[in-house]
Structure 1
């Protein structure tokens, strides 16, 4: 009788333990890659809209010749130096003045407000499009850059006067290159 009871309990234990086991879910699930993909698609759409807006602005301004850079921004020379002078290179310390306006030429930050700026080329944080643009300039030149938001302050703006995903114009004068 004892053996039958033990055998019965073992069979019951075996039957209960063979039930389907449910896996535990992670406490902190990984974020879905589809969210990243959707955000990338939204950024591409915003960038295309900025490019279309800038292209329309440039086409409308038929008196000025704009040059498209390979870095995604446009520029035009206000004052061009024809002499064979050096351009800034990585690590050079330069002195500049610049202003920032919206695409309708309304001043956001004036040259006086921003003051004289000393900048180490590619060694300091600065507006992405202008970091690349100053390397095209010679001392004494003044250039107006038209920067889409992704080459300016990005989708967040500057948390002050420059809005979310705002394209800008910046007129920059290279005053000096200190090697």
Structure 2
């Protein structure tokens, strides 16, 4: 019985002592600085500059005159409709076809493998960023040749199939139809 009372007294003292201590915040084992983020930013800037330089070197040797869009891709109209028509806007459904060709000319996807596609321009997961912007430049029946740097296309992840990470490419895009949403 004495042993039991001593045991209970010991537990009581330990628990009271634990309550009287001030709780201190735990400190991280390692402190990180912004240097790794800055290194990543610098690496991406160099990658983007190299991709744009490669694209500019290709298009300067072509007969067509390419424009650089505000979104970062380069394009030229193969077929342009001079008649007044409507350009698709955010929320409209578009039907289009395109192919994917590497910068060195290897076909990654034939248009028959990908097309036709009907998607809403507000579906972020359905159309990559550069393609959404390119489609907004077009009217039904028009056709573009577009060079997409990787940051306007599939970026760091690729398409999880044939387009690898950080892969710029060329596409021939044709807008087949627009369904204007109210």
**The TM-score by the shorter chain falls in which range?**
0.7 to 0.9
Counterpart residue number, 1:44 = 45
User: Following the alignment from structure 2 to structure 1, what is the Cα–Cα distance between the partners of residues 81 and 31?
Assistant: 55
Superposition deviation, residue 71 in structure 1: 1.1
The structure with the largest alpha-carbon Rg is 1
User: Following the alignment from structure 1 to structure 2, what is the Cα–Cα distance between the partners of residues 25 and 60?
Assistant: 61
More displaced 10-residue stretch of structure 1: 52-61 or 151-160: 151-160
User: Following the alignment from structure 1 to structure 2, what is the Cα–Cα distance between the partners of residues 132 and 89?
Assistant: 10
User: Following the alignment from structure 2 to structure 1, what is the Cα–Cα distance between the partners of residues 172 and 107?
Assistant: 11
TM-score by length of 1: 0.81
- Whether the 8 Å CA contact 1:74–1:147 is kept in 2: the answer is yes
User: Following the alignment from structure 1 to structure 2, what is the Cα–Cα distance between the partners of residues 117 and 42?
Assistant: 34
Counterpart residue number, 1:172 = 173
Give a deviation string over 1:9-67, Cα, whole Å, max 9, x none: xxxxxxxxxxxxxx986246554321111111100010011111111011121x11111
Unaligned residue ranges in structure 2 (runs of 5+)? 1-23
Counterpart residue number, 2:34 = 33
Where in structure 1 do 4 or more consecutive aligned residues deviate above 3 Å?
A: 27-31
Matched position secondary structure for 2:156: helix
Counterpart residue number, 1:74 = 74
Matched position secondary structure for 1:123: coil
User: Following the alignment from structure 1 to structure 2, what is the Cα–Cα distance between the partners of residues 116 and 128?
Assistant: 18
1:1-179 counterparts in 2 under 5 A? Answer: 26-27=27-28, 29=30, 31-61=32-62, 63-125=63-125, 126-179=127-180
Superposition deviation, residue 177 in structure 1: 0.6
